[in-house]
Amino acid sequence: MKYSNNCKDLRKELTKNFKVKVYSTKDKGLSINSLRGYSGLIDLLGQSTGEKLIICALGSDEQIITYKLRRGLKITFYSI
């Protein structure tokens, strides 16, 4: 299924299909270990990076999808 970059559609699909956990190590300056929604993820990563990760997660068949970013963030999508 192809997803457009329509924010409303992505938000709806993310909320319906996934729980998103963001983790960061303390040595990178951030101390994050929490569940995030669409807006929290976009605020943390930025519009383009956040939407790319969401689209990739929606296209995957895995139950747990993990992305590790260079800035020390680990984003995990848990399928509901």
Distance CA 11, CA 59 (A): 15
Please check whether residue 1 lies inside any domain of the structure: no
Please check whether residue 2 lies inside any domain of the structure: no
Please check whether residue 40 lies inside any domain of the structure: yes
Distance CA 38, CA 26 (A): 23
Structural domain span for residue 24:
7-79
Distance CA 57, CA 25 (A): 23
Distance CA 54, CA 42 (A): 10
Position with higher pLDDT, 3 vs 47: 47
Tokens for 4? 């457009």
Please check whether residue 35 lies inside any domain of the structure: yes
Query: Could you read off the pLDDT of 9-61 as tens digits, one per residue?
Result: 889 999 999 999 999 876 656 688 999 999 999 999 999 999 999 999 999 99
Count of domains forming the chain: 1
Please check whether residue 75 lies inside any domain of the structure: yes
